[in-house]
Structure 1
Amino acid sequence: MKTMFSIKDKIKACGKRSLRLAALLPLGLFSFPFFTSCSDFINQDSDRVIIADKDHLNSAEDTLYSVVGIVNKLQAISDRTILLGEMRGDLSDINANTSADLRDVALFNVNDTTNAYNSPADYYAVVNNCNYFIAKADTALKNNRNEYIFLKEYAAVKAFRAWTYMQLAQVYGKVPFVTDPILSTVDADKDYPKYDMQQICEYFLKDLQGLETIEKPGYGSIRGVASRFFYFPIYILEGDMNLWLGNYRDAAVCYYKYLSTRNGVNTGYPTGTSGVEWSRTSTHWDMMSDGFASFFREGSNYTANSELVTLIPGDSIPSEGNYSQLRNLFNSRSDNNYSASIVPSQSLINLSAAQTYCHYTSTRNVIYAPSGLDNYRSGDLRLSSAFATRKMDNLVHNKTIDYVINSKHSDQNVQVYRRSMVYMHLAEALNRAGFPRFAFEILKNGLNDEGIQANVIPYYKNDSAWIAQFSFPSNMYVRRSGAYPALTSENTMGIHSRGCGWSEYNERYVMPDDSTLTGDARLQYQIEHVEDLIMDEDALEFAFEGQRYYDLMRVALRRGNPAYLADKIYGRRGADKVGEMRSLIGKDLYQTANWYLPLP
């Protein structure tokens, strides 16, 4: 009996009236220098092509049907959202079980249309459905309570479209840009310009303006998944777009507006104090409490304290067609003959072990955990929470196998945004806006007004008015006190503490500075080195979540230094195997043109 989520069930419940959902298939990236025609690539019989059976969407039933249909199309790209951003980075690696297609992704050898992970048509299926809804929805229509019927869905669909185009730009570089629905070969035969990330971000910053505070559609719980997790918050999208564009102050304000309004006006959305840590009553490094792994089992309940922000719901059984394979790639399961295909890279293992865990005992003593502990328990503990192996006797094959568990990919849903991502992107934006100490506060102590006044304002007095708009009231953002047991009101700590203990007491984790420098030279030193800490923290917090490759790309482009990305990826298996990786990878990553997949 099927017990999990199936979007098809929800669609069937909405009635027989339907749109045939479809995709636009673009020509190759280099077919035309500026424009791409889609003629000959439209399949009128495909279930991916929108063929309208009505001229307008004008009923409440249409809103539900259309939005759920778009989420259905998002399912088709959910795995790639993780894999294309993860396997091309430096934190995950392949093994003997990895398929040829995924191996080619990891080694930058995707050169043709036969690779299962290179299908832009699926992205354009989302785009074309969004374009249809935006063009056809009667946004002036009201119900008998004088409420706009389509407004919530209209904002949500515009956000779906913006996010999908950003994914396309990250994966392919320049892509055909289409904002009208393609409903016929006449439409498909038109020439469409190709937009890069900058053009896409500039367009959608204007397109989304004014929609940020519109409430999201509420469809309740669908097969155990809270539908409020389906949507992409517009403030976060605008923050990310400004981050890519280099509008760092604007990006920071967008992220702050999300954090300060997520739970309503005059409310907070603090980091929480959950992580993975050694027990405060033990100094023998043998008892651990893990609140980190639970972040990846959220989805059933949307609460004020949810770590999860956005997910793409997956079907529960393979026959549904949009079944996520991530759990079979990252874990040992009967479905994959207990053979996981993705493992931590040596680079991630080394980075995790290089961190200093600061232990704050129940008697308020500071102790630093030793190195050399097994099972990824040296340094940062998040890797040990996310990834574990154990020996298991496989009776079917009469042998002992390495049984792999990855807690970040344990169910059918694919997580896209988390609370800590918003905070870390806020740190990235504040740092590049010229406030590295403000950014470092997010890493080490956690944000509240008291800390900002003590550790930030004194260093940026000329910008105190701008900083003042970032208010994290200390009665809503209560930092850890060190009391044992912890006070129930405590809800804020530095992101680094999620895996490295009590960073606020860690004298080895300090603000980078060089007092021999002065003025702008000193500030630039701080900015670059805090950015290095932010990228390390992103790796420790978000490994296996599909963020890494794009984080490296963004920083490398910002610094005008392709080697920043290339050297880290060539170092995936450690410094002693850089030559091996360069020979295996099929592209020269010092050339930015080789960072993208080719459009078939």
Structure 2
Amino acid sequence: MKTFKYIAMMALSVMLAGSVTSCEDMLDTKSDDYVFDNDLNLDNANDSLFSVMGILSQQQRLAERYVLLGEVRGDLVQVPATADYSLQEIAQFNVSADNKYLSRADYYNVINNCNYAIARMDTSVTIHNNKVMMADYVGIRSVRAWTQLQVALNFGELTWYTDPITNVDDVDKDYPVLPFDAALDRILQDIEPYIGMDVPNFGNVGDYNSTQAFVRPTLIAADIHLYKNNYEMAAQLYYDYIDYYNLYITTGYANRWSSNTRTGITAGNFQAYKNEVISRIPFSSDVKDYRPNLINMTYSLVPQMVPAPHFMKQLEEASHYYADGENSILITGTFEGDLRGMAILADNRGDFASAYGYTHVTDKQQDILITKYYNNGEDAGVSNPDNEMFDWRTVRHLRSVPVYRQPSLYLRYAEAVNRAGKPSIAFAVITNGLKQKVMDDSTIVNKWERNGEPYINFDNSKYENNQGTAMRGRGFGIRLSKSGYLIPELTTLNDSIEWVENEILYEMAAETCFEGNRFFDLLRVSHHRADHPALFVEKVSQRFDNPAAAAARLSNPDNWWIKK
């Protein structure tokens, strides 16, 4: 509690919103020295706009940590011995008292500002029968819920308070500290009344629509229900979101061989990270403003994290089935390699880095690096003398950090549907894509799985072009039965469910690696199993030099969190 009181005192000096002139300017985080005005009420659209944008500018400080803390505690990256010691400690699940990632202040600053706006916002203001402040109110609640979820996921507990801390007396109050599972229950209870409600739409903020700055309540609730093993509820919420917003998986974001000679590649997946996005944390276009350092941390001679060798090996050995088009019925080449990682062209014609690969920037750099952030960055027009990788080119920076993408949505839907007892429908998300002709094909979807539940209705023609996620890296032919990529004949339904679940975990890695999801993905899927935390322990411990010692440490859930 002493730590939280210190954080709360810091929150008193953090602004709610500043006097800025445009939405783009509001993404500038340079000015943060405003204090709360207890007499201020948010009762008009301008006040509401400024409060929302002020909160979003503070949320930017969480973006880099969202990615780092979600990945270095997973199984897809390694943190080299030359990396920052604080990051090494997090990756080793052995945190010292001076670790810089122990600080929770930025999270609680966002939460406290949300509390302030929620307490002061007058949602009854009506113009032309429209409650003009309600969308802003819902947006702020969604930011608070998402931030609370990050606190719980990173630190294993959440100090719960919903009234703003505006003076020293508020700091001295006793606030409940909720352990992880109880924190998720409380967040869910708080956000559920706003499922399906609109978030603010201020038009474009920089290059992105402002609605993408929010993870909508529907998705926050769905993720928590999925963790809590409420599978049908989660499936319905994911489906409702997919159906309402007309979302589907397209092979336009596929990396594929240009022909079965493998002498050229047609790349689309390598920039899906910035283009195929549901929710993101955006940043100002001004290079002088704050932005995450992920490119500089990975595209470097001294990288802070690199792809884990066993992960690269898994993608390198994945079966690949070449077909000329997404509707072709012929497999004309069978190879190895999931092209969403990297590709090695035939006849020594070179290589292609998608999520990771060789950079060929300098003779000094021959190791494989994470290239996902670099590929999705934009030229900053400035140099960085501290990074030799940029000594002959302009620095690149990320204009946003995605926190929810279409593949994440569909694969979590598959995770929920699979655990709801429908493994062939879940597997079709990976192989064929969900659409009427797939759902009606008994060689793909078991008839006994189709019981009329609303969350499996993909009969609408808008899903006609839905494709399987695996087609985006393992060849268009993977959807065909002759590929042999099928659910094997297993003894029990639970065996089939766990086999499909392992394939879903692979797809989550291939599609969304290095995006900040992996710790929660592993934790959530492991939680579905009777022997939890065995899956989580097995997956994470394999990246350690001494897997047995790591497994012993990780078998204690207290060691998962960022605590001294």
Counterpart of 1:524? 494
Deviation at 1:392, TM superposition (A): 3.1
Counterpart of 1:134? 118
Counterpart amino acid of residue 269 in structure 1: L
Distance change (3 Å), C-alpha of 1:351 and 1:389: same
What is the TM-score of this pair, normalised by structure 1?
Answer: 0.79
Counterpart of 1:209? 192
Q: Does 1:534 align with 2:518?
A: no
Distance change (3 Å), C-alpha of 1:60 and 1:247: same
Deviation at 1:111, TM superposition (A): 2.4
Listed as ranges, the matches of 1:288-367 within 5 Å are 288-298=265-275, 307-316=276-285, 319-320=288-289, 322-332=290-300, 339-361=302-324, 365-367=330-332
Structure 1 residue corresponding to 2:100, chosen from 116, 130, 133: 116
Counterpart of 1:22? none
How big is the alpha-carbon RMSD for the aligned residues of Structure 1 and Structure 2? 2.9
Structure 2 residue corresponding to 1:47, chosen from 14, 17, 39: 14
Counterpart amino acid of residue 355 in structure 1: A
User: Quick check: 2:75–2:540 contact (8 Å CA) kept in 1?
Assistant: yes
Q: Please give the alpha-carbon distance, in whole angstroms, between the structure 2 residues aligned to 1:377 and 1:413.
A: 26
Q: Please give the alpha-carbon distance, in whole angstroms, between the structure 2 residues aligned to 1:421 and 1:241.
A: 14
Q: Please give the alpha-carbon distance, in whole angstroms, between the structure 1 residues aligned to 2:445 and 2:511.
A: 30
Helix, strand or coil at the partner of 1:257? helix
Counterpart of 1:597? 562
User: Quick check: 1:408–1:545 contact (8 Å CA) kept in 2?
Assistant: no
Counterpart amino acid of residue 38 in structure 1: K
Deviation at 1:60, TM superposition (A): 1.2
Deviations 1:364-416 (A, max 9, x none): 5313443489994379xx9942222133347xxxx666695613452231111
Structure 1 residue corresponding to 2:456, chosen from 460, 464, 470: 470
Counterpart amino acid of residue 157 in structure 1: I
Deviation at 1:38, TM superposition (A): 2.6
Counterpart of 1:31? none
Identity %: 28
Structure 1 residue corresponding to 2:54, chosen from 66, 69, 77: 69
Q: Please give the alpha-carbon distance, in whole angstroms, between the structure 2 residues aligned to 1:242 and 1:371.
A: 37
Counterpart of 1:557? 527
Counterpart amino acid of residue 166 in structure 1: L
Counterpart of 1:377? 343
Distance change (3 Å), C-alpha of 1:201 and 1:393: closer
User: Quick check: 1:27–1:38 contact (8 Å CA) kept in 2?
Assistant: yes
Q: Please give the alpha-carbon distance, in whole angstroms, between the structure 1 residues aligned to 2:263 and 2:410.
A: 31
Greater shift, 93-102 or 524-533, is seen at 93-102
User: Quick check: 1:101–1:117 contact (8 Å CA) kept in 2?
Assistant: yes
Helix, strand or coil at the partner of 1:217? coil
Q: Does 1:107 align with 2:107?
A: no
Deviations 1:188-221 (A, max 9, x none): 2111112234333333333333423333212222
User: Quick check: 2:342–2:355 contact (8 Å CA) kept in 1?
Assistant: no
Deviations 1:418-473 (A, max 9, x none): 0110000000001111111111111111001231232499746486132x443223
Deviation at 1:251, TM superposition (A): 0.1
Unaligned runs of 5+ in 1: 1-25, 29-36, 263-267, 299-306, 333-337, 479-490
Counterpart of 1:498? 472
Listed as ranges, the matches of 1:126-205 within 5 Å are 126-143=110-127, 145-205=128-188
Distance change (3 Å), C-alpha of 1:400 and 1:129: closer
Listed as ranges, the matches of 1:405-554 within 5 Å are 406-409=371-374, 410=377, 411-455=398-442, 459=446, 461=448, 464-466=451-453, 468-478=454-464, 491-502=465-476, 503-505=478-480, 507-515=482-490, 517=491, 522-554=492-524
Distance change (3 Å), C-alpha of 1:385 and 1:203: same
Q: Please give the alpha-carbon distance, in whole angstroms, between the structure 2 residues aligned to 1:165 and 1:589.
A: 24
Listed as ranges, the matches of 1:209-228 within 5 Å are 209-228=192-211
Structure 1 residue corresponding to 2:356, chosen from 376, 387, 408: 387
Distance change (3 Å), C-alpha of 1:44 and 1:505: closer
What is the TM-score of this pair, normalised by structure 2?
Answer: 0.84
Helix, strand or coil at the partner of 1:208? helix
User: Quick check: 1:444–1:494 contact (8 Å CA) kept in 2?
Assistant: yes
Q: Please give the alpha-carbon distance, in whole angstroms, between the structure 1 residues aligned to 2:495 and 2:89.
A: 38
Q: Does 1:38 align with 2:5?
A: yes
Deviation at 1:125, TM superposition (A): 0.9
User: Quick check: 2:439–2:445 contact (8 Å CA) kept in 1?
Assistant: no
User: Quick check: 1:109–1:586 contact (8 Å CA) kept in 2?
Assistant: no
Q: Please give the alpha-carbon distance, in whole angstroms, between the structure 1 residues aligned to 2:255 and 2:173.
A: 58
Q: Please give the alpha-carbon distance, in whole angstroms, between the structure 1 residues aligned to 2:554 and 2:343.
A: 33
Greater shift, 368-377 or 87-96, is seen at 368-377
Greater fraction helix: 2
Q: Please give the alpha-carbon distance, in whole angstroms, between the structure 2 residues aligned to 1:180 and 1:456.
A: 55
Counterpart of 1:80? 65
Deviation at 1:277, TM superposition (A): 3.7
Counterpart of 2:230? 247
Distance change (3 Å), C-alpha of 1:364 and 1:55: closer
Q: Does 1:569 align with 2:540?
A: yes
Distance change (3 Å), C-alpha of 1:422 and 1:50: farther
Q: Please give the alpha-carbon distance, in whole angstroms, between the structure 2 residues aligned to 1:586 and 1:537.
A: 24
Q: Please give the alpha-carbon distance, in whole angstroms, between the structure 1 residues aligned to 2:352 and 2:182.
A: 37
Runs of 4+ residues deviating >6 angstroms: 372-375
Deviation at 1:54, TM superposition (A): 2.7
User: Quick check: 1:511–1:530 contact (8 Å CA) kept in 2?
Assistant: no
Counterpart amino acid of residue 185 in structure 2: E
Q: Please give the alpha-carbon distance, in whole angstroms, between the structure 2 residues aligned to 1:156 and 1:474.
A: 30
Deviation at 1:355, TM superposition (A): 1.0
Distance change (3 Å), C-alpha of 1:507 and 1:317: same
Helix, strand or coil at the partner of 1:588? helix
Counterpart amino acid of residue 330 in structure 1: T
Counterpart of 2:31? none
